[in-house]
Amino acid sequence: MSYDRFKTALICVLLICVLAVPVSAQGDVIKIGLISSLTGAVSTYGQSVRNAVTMAVDDINAAGGINGRQINLVILDDKGDGTEAAQAARRLIDRENVALILGPVITPCVMAVAPIAQAAKVPMLTPTGTGDEITSIGDYIFRGAYKDSFQGRIMAQFAAVNLGLTEAAIIYDVANDYSVGLRNAFKATFEELGGKIVAEESYSTGDTDFSAQLTALAMRNPQALFIPDYYSTAGPILMQARLMGMDAIMLGVDGWDSPDLSALAGGFEEGGYIVNHYSADVDSPVTQEFIARYTAAYGQAPDALAALGYDGALIVAKALEAAGSTEPEALKQALGTVKGIDGVTGTINMDPEGTPIKSAVILQSTGGKWELVDQVDPSGR
Amino acid sequence: MSWHIAALQQLVNGLALGSVYALIALGYTMVYGIIKLINFAHGEIYMLGAYFGFYALTLLNLSLLPAMLLSMAAAALVGVLLERVAYRPLRNSPRISVLITAIGASLLFQSTAQLVFGASFKPFPQAMPFRRIQLGPVFITNRQLLIFGVAVLLMILLHVLVTYTKFGKAMRAVARDKEAALLMGINVDRIISATFALGSALAATAGILVGMYYNRIDPYMGMMPGLKAFVAAVLGGIGMVPGAVLGGLLMGVAENLVVTLGSSTLRDAVAFAVLIVVLLFRPTGLLGKKGIEKV
Amino acid sequence: MVKPRLTGLIKIILLLCIYGVVRLLESRGLLLPYHVQVLSLCCINVILVVSLNLINGFTGQFSIGHAGFLAIGAYLSAFLTVKMHVPFLAAILCGGLLAGLAGLAVGLPALRLRGDYLAIATLGFGEIIRVIILNMEAVGGAKGFSGIPKYTTFGIAYLTAIITVVVIRNFVHSDYGRACLAVREDEIAAESLGVNSTYFKVLAFALGAFFAGTAGALFSHYLQYMAPTPSQIGFVKSIDILIMLVLGGLGSLTGSVIAAVVLTIIPELLRGFAEYRMIIYPILLIVVMLYLPAGLMAGRELSLDSLARLCKGVKSSAHYS
């Protein structure tokens, strides 16, 4: 190794370090941190959330900010990795002195950030984290999504009571907490209601071939198949299942909600049921406007994660307004009590326990559109 | 469906999945055979090939075959450039340094693709009608058949190329001893470039076929299949063309067998355990030649 | 040439000084908890890279399943402190010991497999560990293991890193280490000189795994949450460690330390770049590799002597200019 080469390499490294010095804005602003997965295998979800949150914050700032103060959004990437998310959280808390953390997006990151936020007494709201245990970490931890147990139970009730099914099968992602949580809740409720889970198969995040699992499931000829996963995986599963000749009723979750589902499923989502936050039939103007503007801004229609991200930002804005300050204790109180937020995913009432009380709807895919079949009382959270 | 028919159906599924691994493994093994490099970026070239095909089909409105050829050419170019920029300067360096640049290239392709093509999952245009072919009690789809057919066909073609043509002879010579090959008047650089072009074109073929088969592409689609295909190539004996296909098919069947036996949660673990056991009995893979240890 | 006893003393003082400076800056508020957190992670990565260096760098084996050992140490120690209320120190040791045992088990295939085949076997081993953990409800399964107490302080991580480096340095300079080097250079020649290559390969694996296990124990009590994801305990993590090792230079302990620290800090500096971060990082990696194919230290060590010589060199060249 020549000294010159060493020097060149060293200069490269130093240059990067110099470039990396962050620029932070000052002034009378409210600083909010957003931790999201902008790179890595789950970046498609993280970018949806980032886009929607950025849009919401821009809206709020354009409308005059919160009590006259502008929001300054600091966005940090966590690569979908817990270690990185924890570092990002520490940086937001210690260096950026944010009033509040929005995010992270996926449960492994949320679970790594929550203890840090709780210990530092910085309120945190994950727009998309669904794991039941998230909000039990502490009183500073909030979420904008359903709990897995809530959603799984609703689908199981609908399947057992409304559809009158007695047998169902499940295929789920063993490496994804969201999928496992929903599967557990569905299974428990369905069996409680006298139904039987005749077969269960699993796969791992990133798998694309489900033929083995589906063949094993098809052998049991189940009346229904519950697929608790995001549209990106549920789509190919739906297609492969139907092409295999499976005629079970397909049951899904809010993660299916994406304009891309139909193309990914080859149109085979037809006839399937999902739990969702809102329905196109009873769309509020907020929802319509959000879909139109998001599509215009980012060149693709929003998925469920974008909708949740937008609403997460709305909840936070409302709480900041109600608290009247960025003092953590007041903010925490406000986050647990703000009511009647007119969000993209419906009317949101926050609860001190940390999970919003939102209504749920059951939709069925009919002729390429999701149509409302049932509305569920949110009190059974 | 009774048990033995299901088992038979799983065998068919396993062969189809195995063909996917085999297709990717072929390119891996070609590159490894000649410069003994675990080309970690191979999975990403497979991904790029799928995207090239995607845009050729959607933006340029080409039909399947021209789109495939275009994508193969583009991927070959990327492969040759990659070798030229990131691997060739390190040809006389420790092998592990090249491995690290390969990993770097793989990360770079992933994040660039994410930035350029977007991070979202894209549905692949269905350039082929769907058909179900009944074979007695079991069935196979026309896509599965296509992938299996292409994998076997390419294996035969490559085998013929490597064994019987002048180019193949030159490749083998370079693989055996670069200096000696140079002395025999073989343009070593060109042979290596050509091998990368070939390997990358193979990866692009795999990318398009697999994209069509699973109806979904994304910037990180090369990661797991790339790893599994590499494992398959090693299982069959890396550097051997028939070994890649054998290893791929074996992996696919083994994975599906595990599911049939009722433990889909342990699928990946069992697949790797099988690999380790096989390697313990055949330390250089199933078709690998036993190296002679010289003192 | 500086006298050995004197250099030893200088080194101890230097190491104490680093610790003192960190603590001082921390108490003055110049180093935020965030920075100390990053430094702790640096120490944990130093342990991982140095222990992998023993296997890959000094003994010439090719392991890319190091995260598997980390996983064992991390989960076992967390299980012990959370569910059994075992003291942290004992939990670290237990985590290290079980990982060491696993290292013995992995060392065995190494007797038959060479090079890339061994690499794939170790990779497979790491993934098997991950899938098993994923399926273990007692440690949280896919949900991950949460509620781990925050026991890992910078002091503990720093001390463990120093112990690791010292132990491995002394091992490498002992008869055992010489034997490992002999196995790396030429296994058959070493055998013919009476070196039991089997024994030393397995020993290197076990010792390297032990330290990776302790790093794991520190890691789980640092993050307070473990998830069985590829980037945390799977092949992505293994490859991260390998990158640090090669960038530092195989067979150079100081190289490992420098690379582990630098490569932990760089992604941190780049965090604000969002999507561009993962473009800058690999380019940096490729460029450094192209210019320094044998790594930063290229098998040499940074010692007080070499530093002294460098200073003299700078002085004399200053004299001429």
CB-CB contact of A313 with A56 (8 Å) = yes
pLDDT above 70: residue C154: yes
Residue C203 within any structural domain of the chain? yes
Range of the structural domain that residue C90 is part of:
40-240+263-275
Q: Does domain A148-276+361-376 sit in CATH 3.30.420.40?
A: no
The span from the CA of A239 to the CA of B121, in Å, is 15
Residue A1: per-residue pLDDT: 44
Whats the size of chain A, residue-wise? 381
The span from the CA of C72 to the CA of C92, in Å, is 11
H-helix or E-strand containing B155? helix B142-164
Q: What is the mean pLDDT of chain B?
A: 89
Q: Using a CB-CB distance cutoff of 8 angstroms, which residues of chain B are in contact with residue C286? A: 86, 101, 104-105, 108
pTM exceeding 0.95: no
Residue C108: per-residue pLDDT: 82
For chain A, give every domain's residue range.
29-146+285-350, 148-276+361-376
Q: What is the mean pLDDT of chain C?
A: 90
Residue A380: per-residue pLDDT: 47
Q: Using a CB-CB distance cutoff of 8 angstroms, which residues of chain B are in contact with residue A46? A: 119
**Over pLDDT 90: what percentage of chain C?**
65
Residue C19 within any structural domain of the chain? no
Q: Which of B210, B216, B255 sits opposite A264 (nearest CB)?
A: B216
- Residue of A183 and C303 predicted with greater confidence: A183
pLDDT above 90: residue B71: yes
A340 at interface of B, judged by CB pairs closer than 8 A: no
Q: Using a CB-CB distance cutoff of 8 angstroms, which residues of chain B are in contact with residue C259? A: none
On the CB side of C295, CA atoms within 13 Å amount to 32
Number of domains comprising chain C: 1
Residue C254 within any structural domain of the chain? no
Residue A8: per-residue pLDDT: 57
Low-confidence stretches of chain A (pLDDT beneath 70): 1-27, 280-283, 377-381
Three-state secondary-structure class, residue B73: helix
Residue A9: per-residue pLDDT: 54
Give the closest-approach CA distance of C202 to chain A in angstroms.
31
CB-CB contact of A85 with C230 (8 Å) = no
Q: Is the CB of C278 less than 8 angstroms away from the CB of B111?
A: yes
Give the closest-approach CA distance of A10 to chain B in angstroms.
18
Residue C255 within any structural domain of the chain? no
Residue A22: per-residue pLDDT: 45
The span from the CA of B133 to the CA of B138, in Å, is 9
Nearest to C290 by CA among B105, A344, A190, A269: B105
pLDDT bucket at B294, cuts 50 / 70 / 90:
very low
Nearest to A128 by CA among A171, A163, A176: A176
Residue C5 within any structural domain of the chain? no
Residue C277: per-residue pLDDT: 84
The model's pLDDT over B123-148, given as tens digits with 9 standing for 90+, comes to 998 877 778 888 888 888 888 899 99
Strands (E), A255-335: 273-276
Residue C315: per-residue pLDDT: 54
pLDDT above 90: residue C150: yes
Residue B288: per-residue pLDDT: 78
The model's pLDDT over A188-221, given as tens digits with 9 standing for 90+, comes to 999 999 999 999 999 988 888 898 899 889 888 9
On the CB side of A139, CA atoms within 13 Å amount to 10
Give the closest-approach CA distance of A174 to chain C in angstroms.
6
- Residue of A237 and C278 predicted with greater confidence: A237
Residue C165 within any structural domain of the chain? yes
For chain C, percent helix, then strand, then coil, each to nearest 5? 80, 0, 20
Residue C293 within any structural domain of the chain? no
Whether residue B129 has a cis bond before it, omega within 30° of 0: no
DSSP string for C243-293 = HHHHHH-TT-HHHHHHHHHHHHHHHHHTGGGGGGHHHHHHHHHHHHHHH-T
Residue A304: per-residue pLDDT: 86
* Chain A, nearest residue to B120 by Cα: A44
pLDDT above 90: residue B76: yes
Residue C71 within any structural domain of the chain? yes
pLDDT above 80: residue B285: yes
What is the rounded end-to-end Cα distance, in angstroms, of chain C?
Answer: 26
Structure tokens at C91: 């939990």
Predicted-assembly ipTM surpassing the 0.90 threshold: no
Give the distance from CA A351 to its chain's centroid.
18
Interface test with A, best of B100, B131, B259 (most A CBs within 10 A): B259
CA dihedral A312, A313, A318, A320 (to 10 degrees): 110
Residue C24: per-residue pLDDT: 93
Angle (CA) B212-B214-B219 rounded to 5° is 85
Question: In terms of CATH, what superfamily is A29-146+285-350?
Answer: Response regulator (3.40.50.2300)
